[in-house]
Amino acid sequence: MTDVRRESEPGAPRRRFGPRPAGQAAIAVAVALLGFLLAIQLRSQEDLADRLAIEREADLGQLLSQLTSRSDQLLADIVDLQARLSQSTGSAEQAKALLESARAELGSLQVLLGIVPVEGEGIVMTLEDPEHTLGPDVLLDIVQELRDAGAEAIDISGLRVVARTAFTGHSGDLAVGGTRVSAPYVIKAIGASPTLAEAMRIPGGVVDAITSLPGASVRIEERSSVSILSVAPAPTFSYAQPQPRR
């Protein structure tokens, strides 16, 4: 008879698992963070009611298209990283390259989520409003124009602006992400400073809209270095709970 030994019996060979390559671990972190980012974007849909209330009707189609495109891109990134994770069993050189790539992507995601301070070329805008005529729609227009012009990070009066940030309140009593702010409003944006400044000064754009209001004015400074030290608070979930890894 053939002697069959089970793994639980003494003397039976046991499978040994070595440590996971660094590239796999780094990409796993990036996959998890991408999933977290997608969850945040889904969570941010709850803020759309406030934003749509002050959004111009002509901009609703563009806003919906941007949200749809961003969701599709995040899903595609997750699928791509999962595929790379399953194939990351190559040489040490390949593992090192994957690790460096994962670190770069992780840094980009951290900036996008607003969870790390950033510094770089950009502009600083100062909005004066002595007559309390600026409403939340003005802040929303500024943020949208800055993002369209390629701003990589935005801060309004010490508050980090991310995808889920809502602008609420009324003239003279504005709130950014639920936190009240008061004039003068200081807006920092990191990106190509000439491009960002030009986007603000487009005829019929943000600057013209602000200066048309009684007493309101805006000053734009192009700087080689702008520091944004504020970070966005982590979202809270009422029902979603992470599952243990299997």
> What is the predicted pLDDT for the residue at 91?
62
Total structural domains within the chain: 2
In angstroms, the Cα distances linking 117 to 60, 120, 138, 226 are 31, 11, 25, 11
* pLDDT band for position 2 (cuts 50, 70, 90): very low
Structure tokens at 169: 């309140």
> What is the predicted pLDDT for the residue at 198?
96
> Are residues 140 and 103 both part of a single domain?
no
**Among the listed residues 178, 167, 183, 182, the one whose alpha carbon sits nearest the alpha carbon of residue 236:** 178
> Are residues 95 and 128 both part of a single domain?
no
User: Quick one: 88 exposed, middle or buried, by C-beta within 10 A (0-12, 13-18, 19+)?
Assistant: buried
Chosen domain end from 97, 113, 129: 113
> Are residues 101 and 162 both part of a single domain?
no
Task: Tell me if 13 is assigned to some domain.
Answer: no
> Are residues 187 and 133 both part of a single domain?
yes
**Among the listed residues 184, 187, 213, the one whose alpha carbon sits nearest the alpha carbon of residue 200:** 187
**Angle 233-100-74 from CA coordinates, rounded to 5°:** 50
In angstroms, the Cα distances linking 192 to 30, 122, 127, 222 are 27, 6, 21, 9
Percent helix / strand / coil, the chain, rounded to 5: 45, 20, 35
What 3-state class would DSSP assign to 146?
helix
Question: Residue 194: pLDDT above 70?
Answer: yes
> What is the predicted pLDDT for the residue at 208?
94
Percent of the chain past pLDDT 90, that is, above it, reads 45
Chosen domain end from 89, 113, 137: 113
* pLDDT band for position 127 (cuts 50, 70, 90): very high
Please indicate whether residue 92 or residue 21 has the higher confidence score (pLDDT): 92
Quick: pLDDT tens for 167-183: 999 998 999 999 999 99
* pLDDT band for position 118 (cuts 50, 70, 90): very high
DSSP state of 45: G
* pLDDT band for position 32 (cuts 50, 70, 90): low
> Are residues 98 and 159 both part of a single domain?
no
What CATH number does residue 160 fall under?
A: 3.30.70.1880
Quick: pLDDT tens for 38-62: 666 555 555 555 555 555 555 666 6
> What range does the domain containing 156 cover?
118-228
DSSP state of 117: -
From the centroid of its chain, how far is CA 89?
31
Task: Tell me if 106 is assigned to some domain.
Answer: yes
